[in-house]
Structure 1
Amino acid sequence: MALKTIVVFVDQTAASDARVRYAAGLAMRHQAHLIGLFIVPNAWQHDRADSNIQGGAAIHEMLERHNLIESDALRAAGRSFEAMAARDDASFEYRAVRGGDVGELVRLHCLHSDLVVVGHPSAGLPAGWSPEQMLLSTGVPVLIVPASWPEGTIARKVLFAWNASREARRAITDSLPVLRAAESVSVVVVDPTNNPLHGQEPGADIAHHLSRHGVAARVEQLQSRGEPIAEVIRRYAAKDQSDLIVLGAYSHSPRRELLFGGVTRTLLGKVTIPTLISH
């Protein structure tokens, strides 16, 4: 698999700039087509008093004003996206989504991509949607870029969280182009002796598999000593100066993680390093 189509969610916040810069850099590295997806704001949400307007002329003026607000937002977001996406020989386009069923329209656009890029804490997604929901509803891997992430550091030192689950295995396939392009990949196994699925030498077989695909991988076996696994991963990422975390999301069901907590929910609760999730 190659990374050839990337969708990034665009809005009018400062957080949008970080994710668009990241997505544009990733698209250039992989010679991928970049799609900026903007959800046009509903002007009705800005002034509820408009619902009390009466009279033909007043209603006409209100509709004109709403159209102007939406058009201005559309153009401003488009200019910002194009300023960051327009690089040498870059392939990109800007799309807008509006209407009542925005969630399903957005989902349709994402289904035809190899990767979806969103932000944190502001994801840029439709109201009520989360990165996890986008992942689970489309099956397309989602890369979450924190608003504070500096320009220029894009997936050079990758931490791959391996727990020998179906989801982690899927994450390898989904992220393989990114792993190949990285300078180094740390396959991190936490509490390996607690999981018989790892085999005799935890992490070794999957590292060999990655190396056959041209990935510069090494295995790091870590002990949690009772600490939450997500915190062990975060601490190692900081120590190793990782600039991307890759994991298979929800090895347990999302409902179980909601009730009892889990690695996915904890890592996504506070994203400080770009994180690619797959399911």
Structure 2
Amino acid sequence: MAYKSIVTFLGSEAELSATLPAALAFARDHQAHLTSYLLGVDMTPAGGFYMGASPILLQETLERAQHEAEALEVIARRLCEKHDLRWSTDSAVVQFGGLPAMVGLRARFSDLVIQTSPYGENALPTQEAALEAALFEGQAAVLVLPNKELPEDFGKRIVVAWNQSNEALSAVRRALPLLQAADHVSVAVVNPPVHSPERSDPGGLLTQMLARHGVRAEVSVLAKTMPRVSDVLMRHVRDIDASILVMGAYGHSRLREAILGGATRNVLENAKRAIFLAH
């Protein structure tokens, strides 16, 4: 397996500036085709236009979204033309409620979706919606990059968050090309359950599977010495100077994580390094 079809969804000039240069660099390194979808999103809520409202108002909001998408595509094309790789751009206009279906349809036919963090001071609601749509509607793997250029040693050291869940296993399988290219892979197990099937050898079966794919991984059993598992994982990422954390996404429901918090949400809100997610 290799990443040959990569897509990214960009809904603002700030998001484009933060995401596209790194996505281009990643696609070039993997000799992949990068498709950038430039989004003009009509944020009018469903039912926002009452019966008898002027159709001119509706037309204006759609035209504004169209102009925004086209302007973003011009910027994206100028940037892509400076790089020697296969690329394409496409502008799309969609109402916010229809964004998951549009993103999901395009993400499902890709090997990887590249986005930047959907949380932060200048983040837009469309960023969170696009990331979750790629994971759930598109069933795609998502690489969430930090808002900066990729370091020269990007991907050389990787941490895999392992809790025996289906989501974690899916993330590992989707991340195999990255793991095979890494110099060092650490499988992090936080407080392994005493009565789990892997209680005598946490992470052993996973490292055996990885070894057969040419990935030499070591297991790090970590105590939960901080309030949240996500804090322990991010500290381990910093301690070994890893550039990517591979983890399963949303083992709990999105609603529960939005209200009560969860490892996925906490990592996305606080991580300073790349996160590789799959559901």
Q: TM-score, normalised by structure 1?
A: 0.81
Q: Deviations over 1:57-76 (max 9, x none)?
A: xx7xx979985x55653344
Equivalent residue, structure 2, for 1:150: 149
TM-score under structure 2 length normalisation: 0.81
Query: How far, CA to CA, are the matches of 1:266 and 1:65 in structure 2?
Result: 34
Aligned pair count?
268
Higher helix share: 1
Shift of 1:91: 0.8
How far apart are 1:209 and its partner, in Å? Answer: 1.4
Contact 2:163 2:189 in 1 (8 A): yes
In the TM superposition, 1:53-202 aligns within 5 A as 67=63, 73-86=68-81, 89-100=84-95, 101-120=98-117, 121=119, 126=126, 129=129, 131-147=131-147, 149-153=148-152, 154-194=154-194, 196-202=196-202
State the alpha-carbon separation in 1 of the partners of residues 177 and 90 from structure 2: 25
| Shift in Å, 1:88 | 5.4
Q: Does structure 1 retain, via aligned residues, the 8 Å contact 2:69–2:93?
A: no
Cα–Cα, structure 1 residues 130 and 89, in superposed 2: closer, same or farther, change >3 Å?
closer
Q: Counterpart of 1:246 in 2: which secondary structure? A: strand
Higher mean C-alpha displacement, 259-268 vs 234-243: 259-268
Q: Matches of 1:259 and 1:75 in 2, distance apart?
A: 36
- Measure the CA separation in 1 of the matches of 2:278 and 2:253: 14
- Compare CA radii of gyration and give the structure with the larger one: 1
For 1:169-211, what per-residue CA distance to the aligned partner results, in whole angstroms no more than 9, with x for missing partners?
1111111112112222111111125461324221232112112
The verdict on how the C-alpha distance between 1:260 and 1:32 changes in structure 2, with shifts beyond 3 A counting, is: same
CA distance in 1 between partners of 2:155 and 2:130 (Å): 23
Equivalent residue letter for 2:103: V
> Is the Cα–Cα contact under 8 Å of residues 19 and 119 in structure 1 kept in the other structure?
yes
Structure 2 unaligned spans of 5+? none
Task: Report the CA distance between 1:87 and its aligned residue.
Answer: 5.7
Pairwise CA RMSD: 3.3
Q: Which residue of 2 aligns with 1:274?
A: 274
